[in-house]
Amino acid sequence: MINEEKKQILFKIPDMLKIIGILGGTLGLLVVILSTIAYIPEHPEFSILTTYLSDIGDTDGWPQIIFNSGTLIAAPIRYLIIVLLALRLFELGAGRAFVFTTLLIGFISTFGTILMTATPFSVAPGIHKMGIGLYFLGVVCLQLIIFIREWTLKSIPRLLPILSISMVIIFLVFAILMILYGKGIVNRNVPVIWEWMCILLSIIWVFAHSIILGDNKGKYLK
């Protein structure tokens, strides 16, 4: 009787990944949309070609409140998604070393997110830049590892590793353009659209992985 009760309260990893992933992706999308809506009235010149997301997060008032608080709330949820993702891939054949490495790098990236969000550039530029470095380097390494492992697991649709390697490419392009901007080689607006592509692709990645890896009935997985 006790064993039956314990079984009833256990959650399946695929189900949890799907639920938490969809909630996390929706939260991320709402944070971007709502903070942008709050930003536009005082900045009618807004454009995804000229306005950085960090500009919104560094704007006093509701834009900063919505973007920064929303990102801080989303950060631990994102890490939980990474944990569930690693465990799900472990169920599908990924090794223990993959799980350990994924959780470690995911934690570093999440810490970077919290660091750069809690300390806007105008408040502490040094700490903010360090947070950006940890976040972007963490994302690139994490997605590269996930891509390699997903590509070797034949039960996983090719869409997922393609999304993972696409994130590596987009984040690297944005990082390189920011370095070039810092050196005065390109103007300020050149990297902007790539930052928006980073956040959009990140949200798509979460939704796709949560829905497909959350499949425990064989609808998407082979």
What pLDDT score does 158 carry?
94
pLDDT tens-place string over residues 26-46: 999 999 999 999 999 999 999
Asked if 52 contacts 198 with a C-beta cutoff of 8 angstroms, the reply is: no
How many structural domains is the chain composed of? 1
111 has a pLDDT exceeding 50? yes
Asked if 166 contacts 127 with a C-beta cutoff of 8 angstroms, the reply is: no
**Residue 130 counted as domain residue:** yes
Average pLDDT over residues 80-90: 95
CA distance 34 to 83: 28
Q: What percent of the chain has pLDDT over 70?
A: 92
Task: Tell me the DSSP string of 165-183.
Answer: HHHHHHHHHHHHHHHHHHT
**Residue 187 counted as domain residue:** yes
**Residue 2 counted as domain residue:** no
Confidence of residue 131 (pLDDT cuts 50, 70, 90): confident
pLDDT tens-place string over residues 152-185: 998 899 999 999 999 999 999 999 999 999 899 9
**Residue 107 counted as domain residue:** yes
Average pLDDT over residues 184-201: 94
Domain that holds residue 20: 14-38+48-213
**Residue 222 counted as domain residue:** no
Please give the biggest Cα pair distance in the chain.
70
Tokens at 18, concatenated = 């799907």
Q: What percent of the chain has pLDDT over 90?
A: 70
Average pLDDT over residues 133-141: 91
What pLDDT score does 10 carry?
54
Tokens at 197, concatenated = 């592509």
**Residue 201 counted as domain residue:** yes
What pLDDT score does 215 carry?
81
Alpha helices in the chain (DSSP H): 2-9, 13-39, 53-57, 62-91, 96-118, 125-152, 159-182, 192-213
**Residue 4 counted as domain residue:** no
What pLDDT score does 126 carry?
79
What pLDDT score does 9 carry?
42
